[in-house]
Amino acid sequence: MQHRPLLLLTRAAHNTCMSDSLRKARGLLLGVAVGDALGAAFEGHRSVDGDDLVRQERATTRLRYTDDTALTLVLARHLAARSNLVSVDEDALATELAREWHREPWRGYGAGSREIFERILTGTPWRQASEDCFGGQGSYGNGAAMRVAPIALVATGPSHAIELARRSAVVTHAHHHGRHGAMLQACAAFLALNSDPGTPLDRQAFLDHLARTVERTDWRTRLNTVRTLLDSASPAVAASHLGNDAAAFTSVPLALLAFLQYPDQPAETIRYALRAGGDTDTIASMAAALTTARTGIQALPSAWLERLEQATEIGELADTLAERMSPSQ
């Protein structure tokens, strides 16, 4: 299976003429999709066996992405369309997300998101649909965090990334955990994108920065748990301490840990996330977004990119957003 445009795209990534911002933007967006698509086969598995992982890695079949990537692309297009004003228009975004679900409902959406999208498309205001979900609690799922990474490409700083993330999250995730998961993942993506891959990542400083930006004590405690698991914890041990389900409170810290274990090796980040089991597509997607935002696209195995559906289009969308990155990025 050969996809010539993509081959050109990945070959160009190795070209020294390509700017770092382009490489990083492609890394971030294609990292989301590759992690998601590799993890999709294992979603819901308690753990993932090494042999199954190798089989999946070496297969030649098409890598299909799921709702994680589908909705990330919606948010990326939403941001790209607002070329002069870096903002999130909640009313428009809610409708765009719902239309994407309606266009391809088979991509594996969460029950809460399906209900909210259905209600939005039949005339319920997004705020009401979002707040009514799960008996009025709102969703604490990771659906807002899994789609948030492109915000890092347009934000002017960590606080801006957090504010845009909050606005992008509330349209579907009214519960504070759903919202805070998205805010933490957006801030982590911004910091990873703006880190220098030529210098070893200061992981303690990275966690310190995140801890200063999160408002809630329970999320700061989660970051401390991530700190204690650095280096020594196997994926199974990490999953047992943090949890690996579709809740933002479990999966966002686990994805962060997978990134921090291998901040310069996207393939290892993804393997770690997959071996932790549970919500594998989402955890691998969020983790890979962070690593490849730091390293750039050239660090992602080309064999995986060549199997990924719509890789060329995703790369082109990343290029559009890269033009929005500030010169320091």
> Contact residues for ligand F2R (CB under 6 A)?
43, 66-68, 108-113, 134, 137, 139-143, 146, 175, 246-247, 279, 281-282
DSSP state of 47: S
3-state secondary structure of 248: helix
Give the residue with the Cβ less far from ligand F2R, 110 or 197: 110
68 assigned to a ligand binding site: yes
Which residues lie closer than 8 Å to 304 by C-beta, 6 or more apart? 34, 38, 57, 63
If binding is defined by CB under 5 A, does position 245 make contact with Mg ion? Answer: no
132 assigned to a ligand binding site: no
91 assigned to a ligand binding site: no
Total residues binding Mg ion (CB under 5 A): 7
Interaction partner, residue 239 (Mg ion, ligand F2R, none; CB < 5-8 Å by kind): none
Give the residue with the Cβ less far from Mg ion, 182 or 191: 182
Least distance to Mg ion, CB of residue 246, Å:
6
3-state secondary structure of 84: coil
Instruction: Provide the token pair at 15.
Output: 């070209």
Q: H helices within the chain, ranges in order?
A: 4-14, 20-39, 50-58, 67-81, 90-103, 111-121, 126-132, 143-146, 151-154, 158-169, 176-193, 203-213, 217-229, 235-242, 248-261, 266-275, 280-295, 302-307, 311-322
Phi, psi of 148 (to 5 degrees): -90, -15
Which part of the chain contacts Mg ion (CB under 5 A), choosing from 187-195, 218-226, 267-275, 276-284?
A: 276-284
Interaction partner, residue 110 (ligand F2R, Mg ion, none; CB < 5-8 Å by kind): ligand F2R
Give the residue with the Cβ less far from Mg ion, 100 or 279: 279
Least distance to Mg ion, CB of residue 107, Å:
7
282 assigned to a ligand binding site: yes
Phi, psi of 328 (to 5 degrees): -70, -20
If binding is defined by CB under 5 A, does position 279 make contact with Mg ion? Answer: yes
67 assigned to a ligand binding site: yes
269 assigned to a ligand binding site: no
Interaction partner, residue 100 (Mg ion, ligand F2R, none; CB < 5-8 Å by kind): none
Give the residue with the Cβ less far from Mg ion, 252 or 299: 252
Interaction partner, residue 175 (ligand F2R, Mg ion, none; CB < 5-8 Å by kind): ligand F2R
- Residues 156 and 173: beta-carbon distance below 8 Å: no
* d(C-alpha 147, C-alpha 243), whole Å: 20
Which residues lie closer than 8 Å to 144 by C-beta, 6 or more apart? 165, 168, 169, 172, 173, 178, 179, 181, 182, 248
* d(C-alpha 244, C-alpha 276), whole Å: 7
Please compute, for residue 192, the number of CA atoms within 13 A of its CA located in the half-sphere on the CB side: 34
Phi-psi region of 173 (alpha: psi -120 to 50; beta: other; left: phi over 0): beta
Interaction partner, residue 247 (Mg ion, ligand F2R, none; CB < 5-8 Å by kind): ligand F2R
Interaction partner, residue 277 (Mg ion, ligand F2R, none; CB < 5-8 Å by kind): none
Interaction partner, residue 235 (Mg ion, ligand F2R, none; CB < 5-8 Å by kind): none
Least distance to ligand F2R, CB of residue 242, Å:
15
Rule CB under 5 A: which of 62-121 touch Mg ion?
Answer: 66-68, 108
- Interface residue list for Mg ion (CB under 5 A): 66-68, 108, 279, 281-282
Q: Which residues are annotated as a binding site for Mg(2+)?
A: 66-68, 279, 281-282
